Each structure stands twice: as C-alpha cells, then as structure tokens.
Amino acid sequence: MTCQKIRLFCISMLALPTGMFAQLKFSLQEARAYALEHSYSIKDKQLELEKAKKTITETAALGLPQISAEARHQYNAQIPQTPLPAILLPNPPEGVDFVLVQFGVPHQSIYGLQASQLIFDGSYIVALMATRVFKDLARNDVNISKVEVIDNITRSYGSVVMTKELIQILEDNLKVLQKIYSDNRKLYDEGFIEEQDVDQLDILVNTVSTQLDNTRRQLDVAMMLLKLQMGISLDENIELTDGLEAFETIDANAYNLLSKPYDLLQDYEYRGILLQEQAARLQLKRYQMSYLPSVTAFATHQQNAFGNEFKMFDFNQFWVPVTIFGAGVNWNIFTGFDRYAKTSKARLDLLRVQNAKRQVEDSKAVEYNRTKNEFEFALSNLRVRRKNLNTAFRVREKTLFKYREGVAGSFDLTQAENQLIEAQSSYVQAMTLLVNSYSALNKILGNYNN
C-alpha cells in the first residue's frame, strides 16, 4: 500500500462517525427500557400475542360466507346402460323381455359456484368469544413478562453496581495494606520489628488480594447475566452510568412504599387466573350450546355441457344451467352421552380454576406480607450495617495511627482491618438485599416503573 493510500485510509477512518466506536451506556431506567424492547422472553410473548390475534380471525372466518368454485370434466369410458322393458319399443324383438339402453354421452364438462352461510350455531358464537379471551390471556402474558424483566433488570443492575462497589473497597484496602507491608518490610530489614509482624501483614494482603480476584470474576458473571436479560450480545461492551447513589434513595422513599395499600387486581398473575376462569366458563357454555341445532343456508349454480367430443373450453355451445338454493338444520339429538361427558369435564375444569383462583388470592396475600417484612428488615439491617461500617472505619484509622506510633501491634492492626473488610462486605450485601426486596415489593404492589 502506497503512502498516499495509507493517508487516504487514515483520513477516511477519522471521518467515520464517532458513535460507531462508542460504548453503550445505560442508566437503570435506560437498561429497563432497552430490555422491554429487546428482551428475548418479551419478544416470544409478543409473537404469541400476534398468533392469538390471527386465531381470532381464523375463528371468525367460520361464520363468514364460504364461496368456492370448481371446473371439472368427466369422460365416461363406458356409458351406463339401463334395462327397459322390451314391450315399450315400437317393434320389440321376440323372446326378449328387456333391452339395454344407454343414457348419457362420453364427455361432460361442469363449471360450478357454491356459496354457504352459517345462520346460527351456538358453539361458534361461544368459540368466537373464547378467542378474544385467549387474546387477552396472551396480552396479559406479555405484561407478566415485562414485569419479570423489570424485576430481573433491577436486581441484576444492582448486583453489578454492588459488586463494583465492593471491588473499589477491596482495591482501596489493598493499597493501604500493601503500603503498610512495604514500610514494615523495610523496618524488618533494618531490625526494628520482628518477622511475625511482617508475616501477619503478608497474610492479610494475600487474603484481601484473593477476595479481590474472586469479586472481579463475580462481576464478569453478573455483567453477562445483565446483558442476557437485556437482550444484548454477550460480546458487546456496556457501561453502567448509575452507581450506588441510585439505590441509596430507597431508604428515603421507604415510607411512601410501605404505606401504599395492597391491591390484588394490580397483579398480572392474578389477572391471568381471572381470565382463565372466564375461559373455563366459556368452554362449559360451548358444550352446553352443542345441544342446540345449527342452521346453514347455501346456494349452488352449475353450467353443464354434454357431447361426444371434448369441448370443455367451447363456450359457444349450449351449456345447461342448474341453480339450487336451500337451507339446512343439523341437530345432533343423541350422541351416545359424548356431549354429557364433555360438559361434565368442562364443569370440573371450571371448578379447578376457581379453586386455583382462591389459592392464588391467599398465596398473594402471604407473598405481600412476606415481601413487606423482608423490605422492612432490609431497611433496618442496612442502617445497622452502615453504622457498623462507620465504626469499623474509625477503629481501623485509630489502630493504624497507634500502629505507626508503635503503641499497637500487627495483631491489633490485622484484627481492625479484618473487621473493616467484614463491615464493608456486610454493608454491600445489605444494599443488595435492600435492592432485591425493594424490587420485589414494587412488583407485587404494581409499581412497575420503580
């Protein structure tokens, strides 16, 4: 490649839009909005909803006029013969009682048009109503999937943020410990302190370093899970713009959330069981309607041509018209107890759904109280962990000061550092518990945007 071509290539690359190389960035709300549009589970439920809409059209078509056309040619290789009494002939042969007479011609062409219309069918009317309930069920499944996605994104986003916070804490602690270890190593080499003091710090540095490596691996897994739930390729690099501050407001808004009344009808899973009950009622009604007759009207028109030669496409010859109008009633009076059995099964299915509805009502009440209690515990637990963290940080700072002044030993410093690391980890775990319980309570209360 010549220098001129290289220069042109570089200029063209610089001229490309910077957005082509920009990293995808998401706040918590943006991550939710993206997932609602690209989540695999939501896409699947939306396709199911479209399928349900087509089912309505398919069922409705049964009650619309049905029109068909036919074009048919028939060749009679052997023309049927009919026996006639010989006495009917002008000159009947002697000794013969019957003679065979051919009625028909070798070729027959038919063009026809048929139309039919369902006038009344109780089962059809109920089936059409049931398909609309089926569509509502599919739409409700989409909403359930959206609620699940919002809940999962909130939890996964929070998990990534908390894991990053823990990594930052461990990195800061590790820097402090490595500095102390380096200084003590020099003091030991000069004979001012014992080897045991250096070894204690070495163990602590290795422990924190191992925790840091493991936490970084946990961050990779948490980020992969978040991208999977958002519908983003696992190879894509994304950046989360919200940090710990996005979740620290939960404590301040806790009262409003806890004081909101519980409304079972806001729960999409309960709405789903109500739709299932409606569908079961319609199924029972459908079989009950099968005891009634069905009424159908029809019309048929044909043009027939007959001859000794094939002239199906000769429209100049005489075509014999045949036109029929009619109506029919079909009534299955006795079906060997088949309808009775199907009706009984449908009635039992309705009872089962009603029993499941009562179970859902009770289980949702239990779930609400459990989720509320978990959120209240997470709030109090976070406040305690935050207080412990501040206390552990002050203890570590005082112990570190005493250690540098020679008043405290390495064992005291190691104990204070371990307490601080435990308090920091407990605080991050408490924040994670708070985020999860907060999302679960919003979900059952119908606060799908929080």
In angstroms, rounded to a whole number, what is the distance separating the alpha carbons of residues 81 and 103?
6
In angstroms, rounded to a whole number, what is the distance separating the alpha carbons of residues 417 and 208?
10
Which of the 8 DSSP states describes residue 234?
T
Please list, in sequence order, all residues whose beta carbon lies within 8 angstroms of the beta carbon of residue 327, skipping any fewer than 6 positions away: 119, 295, 296, 297, 298
Query: What element of type H or E holds 337?
Result: none
pLDDT of residue 20: 43
Dihedral angle over CA of 209, 210, 213, 215, nearest 10? -110
pLDDT of residue 450: 62
pLDDT of residue 449: 67
What residues does each domain of the chain span?
Answer: 23-64+121-293+334-445, 76-96+103-119+296-330
In the numeric block, which tokens belong to residue 365?
């009440």
Asked if residue 73 lies in contact with residue 159, where contact means CB atoms within 8 angstroms, the answer is no
In the numeric block, which tokens belong to residue 228?
């999977």
Sheet holding 107-120, edge to edge: 66-75, 107-120, 294-307, 320-330
Q: Report the chain's terminal Cα–Cα distance, integer Å.
A: 57
Name the CATH code of domain 23-64+121-293+334-445 (choices 3.20.20.410, 1.20.1600.10, 3.40.190.80, 2.60.40.1760). 1.20.1600.10
Of 186, 211, 208, the C-alpha closest to 198 is: 186
pLDDT of residue 387: 94
pTM of the predicted protein model: 0.78
pLDDT of residue 103: 81
pLDDT averaged over 10-residue windows placed end to end, the chain, 450 residues: 45 43 81 93 93 89 91 89 82 79 87 93 89 92 93 94 92 88 82 79 89 94 94 91 86 86 90 94 91 93 89 87 94 88 94 95 94 95 93 91 80 85 91 93 82
pLDDT of residue 91: 79
